[in-house]
Amino acid sequence: MITSDPDVRRGRWCIDGTRIDVLMLRTNSREWLIENYKHVPVTHEMIDEALAFEFKPIQGAELDIVDWDLTCVCGESYWESPTSELVGQSYGPGEYVRVCKACGKRWKVTIGLEAVG
Ligand SMILES: [Zn+2]
């Protein structure tokens, strides 16, 4: 079972009773996980569950405009380059798309400038 507990890894979705998060299970090879997490241990069933897991929002999306860090509603802030399908789309000036590596949600970031005085 996959759960989110605010006291464990800041609420990241993890295999229940462990600190192993879904993102890690999705972004590493089975062989690497099983070899490097023998002490847990990580099983094929855990990896299958992580791959099939549908993220539920645990927070609002956040954009840190100082560091340009985005945090997705799933609680992760690990991004990949937009897919070729998205790269081919045209966006307005100051707009770009980021894709959450955990849940796959796509976010369009719009950067604007407005005179206020
Ligand atoms: Zn996400």
Ligand 1 centre from 66 Cα, in Å? 21
Flag whether the pTM goes above 0.75.
no
C-alpha torsion sign, points 39, 45, 47, 52: negative
Whether the per-residue pLDDT at 88 is higher than 70: the answer is no
Ligand 1 centre from 71 Cα, in Å? 8
For residues 23 and 102, is the Cβ–Cβ distance under 8 A?
A: yes
pLDDT per residue as tens digits for the range 7-38: 998 889 999 988 999 999 999 999 999 999 88
Percent of the chain with pLDDT over 90: 45
| Helices and strands (H, E) in the chain, number of each type | 4, 7
**CB atoms inside a 10 Å sphere around CB 1:** 7
For residues 87 and 52, is the Cβ–Cβ distance under 8 A?
A: no
Domain boundaries along the sequence of the chain: 2-52, 62-110
Amino acid identity for residue 41 in this structure? P
Ligand 1 centre from 41 Cα, in Å? 26
